[in-house]
Structure 1
Amino acid sequence: MDFGSLLTAMVTPFDENNRINLERTTELIEYLLDHGTDGLIIAGTTGESPTLSFDEKLALFNHVVTVVNGRVPVVAGTGNNNTEASIRLTQEAEKIGVDAALLVTPYYNKPNQEGLYQHFKTVANETKLPIMLYNIPSRAIVRLTVETIVSLSQIDNIVSVKDSSGDLDAISSILEQVSEDFTVYSGDDSLTLPIQSIGGTGVVSVASHVIGTEMKEMIMAFEAGEVKQAAKLHRKLLPIMKALFMAPSPSPVKAALRYQQLNVGSVRLPLVPLSPFEEQNLYRLLDTYK
């Protein structure tokens, strides 16, 4: 299922007391839609899902669905390492009217491939929502193998994968074996163009908060056959993409948004804001780029 080529893994805006700020969320949504975003991933890693309560996630889902009002797909992060809890949140998100669910590989429990398969299959069987798998071994420890992703792709409503493994060989194998309507998205900004070049659909992006227009231009240049221009844009944007991960995400991107006069607040513990030194390095790079 094609959700668009540039999906933004949206940060969750907080107020001065670190509560979700829905007014700032509205402002951020409009900003992103004006700067190339084709779809929104909410309450994912970048949205600080581990520190959002069940009720906060539902309030966020409801608000974003209302504000977006069908203009772009809204994909809700409803997965965690508890299968029953994932089912419940996914079902509630479906009632609210999100367009799809993003299900992360269960972290900490360390299930084997059969456990991973059964987890995703069980959640998928309890919802009519299209499901995007989220393969992120650097955070979850466990990794979906090519074989497991291909097997899961045969379940009717498992329609896509966000792959943050960084393994282009594995991603090539996935693309070779899944059906044409199963989409593969890069989970790493810096691999957007390489993954697109082997048949990927696009990217679930953090950097699009800051360079969304430029990233969309790069993707569209490649799709138009302007490969050298796309590569030139990739090289130009790469330092920004890398800088936004100089510290655990989303601390850098929230700092970058504030520097651009989009106040999305700070991060919740156990994450911490950038140090003054890190902030100055980030701001210097942003000034140089602009």
Structure 2
Amino acid sequence: MSNFLRGTGVALATPFDKDGAIDYKGVTSLVNFCVEGNVEYLVVLGTTAESVTLTKEEKKSLIAHIVEVNNKRLPLVIGVGGNDTLAVVEEVKKVRSSDFDAILSVVPMYNRPSQEGIFQHYKSINDNSPLPVLLYNVPARTGVNMMAETTLRLAQLDKIIGVKEAVSDFTQVLKIIKNKPTDFLVISGDDTLALPAVVAGGDGVISVVGQGFPNEFSEMIRLGLSGQTKKAFDILYTLLPVLDYAFEEGNPAGIKNILKVKGVCEDYLRLPLVSVSLSLEEKIKKFIEKY
């Protein structure tokens, strides 16, 4: 059922114009760049999309535009998360199954729930979702880590099909891979560790940098999934410098600058985020020119 999520998904950035409005021409360019770059699916309204700075009206308009531009070419996953379970459940109920194939929902941030609180939060989503659900664990942003035991407990629920795991402790990823149900997906949320996770038995990545290098990144993951590890790691080692650059001054500042240098879209952000420094842009330019 969820094999379409094996491989490379990209967490789409939201292009803005110099006045801070959504740049729909840039959105079109980015979606086409990723589709033509052979990634397996697109993730809409994730963290990289600066979704916390988008109004409800902007989100609705952005979703409609991406759905139209994609035109069923690739599966679509939508990010629906927050720290008020009732509000998240209401948003989940509104997701149109005609437009999206799965929901990605982050561990509640800021209020730092217990492991039981995390379980009950996701159980509420599971019980009300019209679509399959991917868990998303990113302690660096949420302030709390969803432990492997909680993830594996949630894996028994009928709508929970996998986890995007962005924990810094790789041992936790290995524990989940080792003990998960056969059809439960373990998807990396860390671009640098995505290939090692795949080689260890994971299913792919939801990538930031993959939208800047869609052909290369998706090929790397496909090679890893097919056991061609030498070729896969050759690509990873080539991309290593830009993986560092992309996050050196925060996400999505880095990836937006990469997309700007590549001519895909501009790199404007909304406060409190700002564009990368001139020195980092110079490093990104040199890498892309050399690459």
Give the counterpart of 2:141 among 114, 126, 139. 139
Aligned equivalents of 1:287, 1:157: Cα separation in 2: 45
**Structure-2 change in CA distance of 1:85 and 1:276 (3 Å):** same
Aligned equivalents of 1:262, 1:97: Cα separation in 2: 25
Match of 1:17, SS state, is coil
Q: Gapped runs of 5+ residues in structure 2?
A: none
Q: How does 1:1-290 map onto structure 2 within 5 Å?
A: 1-2=2-3, 3-94=5-96, 97-288=99-290, 290=291
Cα-to-partner distance string for 1:223-276 (whole Å, 9 max, x where unaligned): 333222222221111111111101110001111111111124411111111122
Aligned-CA RMSD value: 1.5
Deviation at 1:124, TM superposition (A): 1.9
Cα-to-partner distance string for 1:197-220 (whole Å, 9 max, x where unaligned): 111110111111222211122222
Match of 1:20, SS state, is coil
Greater CA deviation, 146-155 or 120-129?
120-129
Aligned residues with identical type, % of pairs: 35
Match of 2:48, SS state, is coil
Deviation at 1:7, TM superposition (A): 0.3
Greater CA deviation, 208-217 or 93-102?
93-102
**Structure-2 change in CA distance of 1:234 and 1:259 (3 Å):** same
Aligned equivalents of 1:107, 1:187: Cα separation in 2: 17
- For 1:287, the aligned partner's letter is E
**TM-score (norm. length: structure 1):** 0.95
Aligned equivalents of 1:129, 1:95: Cα separation in 2: 7
- For 2:72, the aligned partner's letter is G
- For 2:20, the aligned partner's letter is N
Aligned equivalents of 1:264, 1:4: Cα separation in 2: 30
**Structure-2 change in CA distance of 1:266 and 1:96 (3 Å):** farther
Aligned equivalents of 2:267, 2:86: Cα separation in 1: 32
Whether the 8 Å CA contact 2:203–2:225 is kept in 1: the answer is: no
Deviation at 1:148, TM superposition (A): 0.6
Cα-to-partner distance string for 1:23-72 (whole Å, 9 max, x where unaligned): 32122111101112110111111111111122222222222222222221
Q: Gapped runs of 5+ residues in structure 1?
A: none
Deviation at 1:108, TM superposition (A): 0.6
Match of 1:18, SS state, is coil
Aligned equivalents of 2:226, 2:150: Cα separation in 1: 33
Whether the 8 Å CA contact 2:191–2:208 is kept in 1: the answer is: yes
Match of 1:244, SS state, is helix
Whether the 8 Å CA contact 1:82–1:106 is kept in 2: the answer is: yes
Aligned equivalents of 2:200, 2:191: Cα separation in 1: 15
4+ residue runs over 6 A deviation: none
Match of 1:284, SS state, is helix
How many residue pairs get aligned? The number is 289
